[in-house]
Amino acid sequence: MTAPQDILAQINHPPEWPGWIPTKHGGFRPFEPKVEDVIPEDIIYGLCGAWRFGGRTVPRMTVAEHVVLVSLIIEELWGPKYAAAGLLHDACEAYTHDLPAPIRGSITVALPSGEVVSWMEMERRINLVIFEALGVDPAGLDALEVRAADILSATFEKRDSQSLSSEEDWGLPPIPAEIAPWRLNFFSPPMAEITLRRRWEKLGLPL
């Protein structure tokens, strides 16, 4: 009979495994992101399978629906200039997933170079590489429009989610009257993918 130690003794990790994660069309190294490794289809597919709030809310909501909402808020309230940046502001989560904020803010990452950075800095670096790969101005990542729309999306999520609506005050701003009638759809991953892909194409992002 094969013993557990026999299995463990035979482990021989291939050299490409460290820091590598699988994607739909290949793989990605989040600790060493490269433009040539960014595949748009991986981002679309990944965001549709990543959940806001760690997937703990009822109903669950995908990161894909979140970024589409952010992009639409920007375009509706302030014009199209940063709509693509809004759609991509959480693109890194196609690889890293959406960690709940109290956890995300406390994690540090030791990079292969020896540098130690926060989780959020690691995600920022991934996003900058994604923006470069897709031809989007990286300045959009810090645009006030993107930051404000991200906050407004949280207001929608708190209002429309069964799990969040009764929680304590988060100090969020009210939803502007122009978009107050909008409602979250809580799309399934397949429907979220359709919605994200349509928005992606409308904004002229490469596939």
11 part of a folded domain:
no
179 part of a folded domain:
yes
Residue ranges making up the domain that contains 118: 34-202
10 part of a folded domain:
no
Per-residue pLDDT of the chain (207 residues; tens, 9 = 90+): 899 999 988 888 776 666 889 999 989 999 999 999 999 999 999 999 999 998 889 999 999 999 999 999 999 999 999 999 999 999 999 999 898 888 988 999 999 889 999 999 999 999 999 999 999 999 999 999 999 999 999 999 999 999 887 767 889 999 999 999 999 999 999 999 999 999 999 999 999
87 part of a folded domain:
yes
pTM above 0.75, yes or no: yes
132 part of a folded domain:
yes
pLDDT of residue 166: 73
pLDDT of residue 13: 73
Domain count, the chain: 1
1 part of a folded domain:
no
124 part of a folded domain:
yes
7 part of a folded domain:
no
DSSP per-residue letters across the chain = ---HHHHHHT----TT-TT-EEETTEEE-TTS--GGG--HHHHHHHHHT-BGGGG-SSS--BHHHHHHHHHHHHHHHH-STTHHHHHHTTTTHHHH----HHHHTT-EEE-TTS-EEEHHHHHHHHHHHHHHHHT--GGGGG-HHHHHHHHHHHHHHHHH-TTTTTSPP--PPPPPTTTTT-------HHHHHHHHHHHHHHTT---
CATH number at residue 182: 1.10.3210.10
